[in-house]
Amino acid sequence: TYCGGTQVLEVEGLCYGKVLWNITFSATPGKVVGIAGRNGAGKTTLLRCIGGYHRYAGSVRWNRKEVRKLPLKERTATVNYLPQSVET
C-alpha cells in the first residue's frame, strides 16, 4: 500500500533457502516493526534480503519499487544494513 506520499516498505511472500518461508509484512512511518527469534532463526538473513544482498523469492518493495531492481546507488541510498560486527 502507498500511503499518500509516505514511505512504505512492503515484504510479500519472501522466501530464502531453508531459512525464510513466506514472510509478509509492511512498515510505514510511525509503525514499529520488531524482529525477534533465537540464534539462527533468520533475522539477519531477512535484513540482508530486504537490503537486496541476497537473491530471494517473493517481493520487497520500497514505495512500490522492487528493491532488487533498483540501481545499486539508489538501493544503497534507500535501504541500508549495518551488521553488528564486520568480518575481516
Write the pLDDT tens digit of every residue in 5-64: 577 899 999 999 999 999 999 998 888 888 999 999 999 999 999 988 899 999 999 889
pLDDT at 4 > cutoff 80: no
pLDDT score for 5: 57
pLDDT score for 75: 84
Q: pLDDT band for 1, please (50, 70, 90 cuts).
A: very low
Cell representation of residue 84: 553488528
Helices (H), strands (E): how many in the chain?
Answer: 2, 4
The pTM (predicted TM-score) of the whole model is 0.79
Q: What DSSP assignment string belongs to 12-53?
A: EEEEETTTEEEEEEEE-TT--------TTSSHHHHHHHHTT-
